[in-house]
Structure 1
């Protein structure tokens, strides 16, 4: 007589405490992303999935996370993310469900003088959290730019120090916002964008443009925040800028965070 398959997960927890999130992390998944210029873009994402677990249950059912992904369309959008989260809630009998996708996102960048085009990668994150029937949808991008120090330029007889600066934008949105829109805001926030392909004439133009537009890390974070303040689709944002200094053994950084409870209540 065969032994029955006992469901240990559904037995009470030895330690009666609720768990905020339990699930799987660092799963690699091929994914289609909406592309503003080309319609769709194929990439590979690192995926985290989780749900809440009450103290009445010893464990969750890990296989059901994969089952939800298996039946999902693997085409990332506001509506498809919502569908996945609702399915996770249903399959795992959860009140809350969370998912995040981290992936490289590619945009064609045109060299400023020669006009040559090459794709450049930007790190992106799409995150969704479903609490009951309320969806929180968050986008994040990390974008490198070049900055030239205004103080160094003002006090030096020759030249000034410059650095690679990373702009990170995290934004909670209402319905939809192109990743490209956030990336473009970041690219124009510093002294100059950076490019994947530069000929000599491009290097000359980039350098001259950057030195004619010196920016502190404080300037960069304010430039980004000003643009984000004009977007009605954003409920909340956080802008983080870190400058990897070329003449110091430390970084400079600045953060601006916006929180508007009235907007969140209307979402």
Structure 2
């Protein structure tokens, strides 16, 4: 065996059927990423999708180059530290285009979970709330434009306003009335060319529930939490609309008007054998038309 001979490049050969493929690459590569900022270093364990497009003349991609690009870029992170995850994965996109000269676009998706510090001054409670995070960046070779997608997902509590009002009516009381509650999962995604602070999306989400949920509550604070939540009853539909309005208030003057907002809610019903869902999708310009009138 002679390993010094030039090896055939099978990937560069002509395919049987000449048609381009939108995305080819590796998915769910597990990696620890450390980001440095003025607030200090943050390390996240993340799953990464590393993808490029494939022209019609090329049979396959050189998969090892995807991993090589990731190792090159993320080893830099560990030493000099990028300031954000967005900067890191966009650098990886550009490195992919350098290594795959036949690709017209590169796309990197990162998903992780981080703990967000939340304080409720009324309850005198501090909680580290787990937030599911997904960030995607796509870079086009010719235009050099970057399209970004930020998604966060958190869990909170909702109180059914219908049951609350009906019980209040039947009991003939304007005071505290019973209702049923749900643990509700809220997802907010923002697709844009602009850079945003993901913490803003988390704040919007937590303010969209009847109240956030907490891991550690003594009996008196548990009572205060329930009373506060019952003063702010919400349907799943109310949560979606609250999140959309929050995005409008925070971003309508900061990001491109054609940026796309997606909100979804999954409510885990407590008295029904099913879950309730609601979702909506609008551009920032759409939200301006609805909310600024």
- Normalising by structure 2, report the TM-score: 0.82
| Mapping for residues 37-186 of structure 1, pairs under 5 Å | 38-72=39-73, 73-74=76-77, 75=82, 76-93=84-101, 94-110=103-119, 115-132=124-141, 133-156=144-167, 157=171, 159-186=178-205
| Runs of 4+ with deviation above 6 angstroms | none
Displacement of 1:261 in angstroms is 7.6
Q: Do the aligned partners of 1:78 and 1:175 also contact (CA within 8 Å) in 2?
A: no
CA–CA separation in structure 2 for the residues paired with 1:212 and 1:83:
47
CA RMSD of aligned residues (A): 2.2
Change (3 A) 1:34 1:145: farther
**1:188 and 2:207 equivalent?**
yes
What secondary structure is seen at the aligned counterpart in 2 of 1:10?
coil
Q: 1:261 to 1:134 in 2, by over 3 A?
A: farther
Structure whose CA Rg is larger: 2
CA distance in 1, matches of 2:85, 2:30: 18
Specify the alignment match of 2:34 in structure 1: 32
Moved more, 157-166 or 76-85: 76-85
TM-score by length of 1: 0.90
The answer to whether the aligner puts 1:213 opposite 2:239 as a matched pair is no
Where in structure 1 are there 5+ consecutive unaligned residues?
263-267
Distance 1:258 1:84 in 2: 30
Q: Which runs of 5+ in 2 are unaligned?
A: 172-176, 287-293
Q: Which has the higher strand share?
A: 1
Aligned-partner Cα distance in 1 for 2:59–2:48: 24
Which of 222, 232, 244 does residue 268 from structure 2 map onto? 244
Deviation at 1:120, TM superposition (A): 2.4
SS at match of 1:227: helix
Q: Secondary structure at the match of 2:225?
A: helix
Q: CA deviation at 1:152?
A: 0.5
What SS class does the counterpart of residue 179 from structure 2 fall into? coil
Structure 1 partner of 2:220: 201
Q: Residue by residue, what CA displacement relative to the aligned partner does 1:124-157 show, whole Å, maximum 9, x if unpaired?
A: 0010111231110111000111000000111124
Q: String of CA shifts for 1:3-37, please: whole Å, max 9, x gaps.
A: 5311111111122221111000010011135779x
Contact 1:117 1:197 in 2 (8 A): no
Q: Secondary structure of 2:221's match? A: helix
Q: Following the alignment from structure 1 to structure 2, what is the Cα–Cα distance between the partners of residues 22 and 70? A: 18
Residue range with higher mean Cα deviation, 238-247 or 151-160: 151-160
Q: How many positions carry a matched residue from both structures?
A: 261
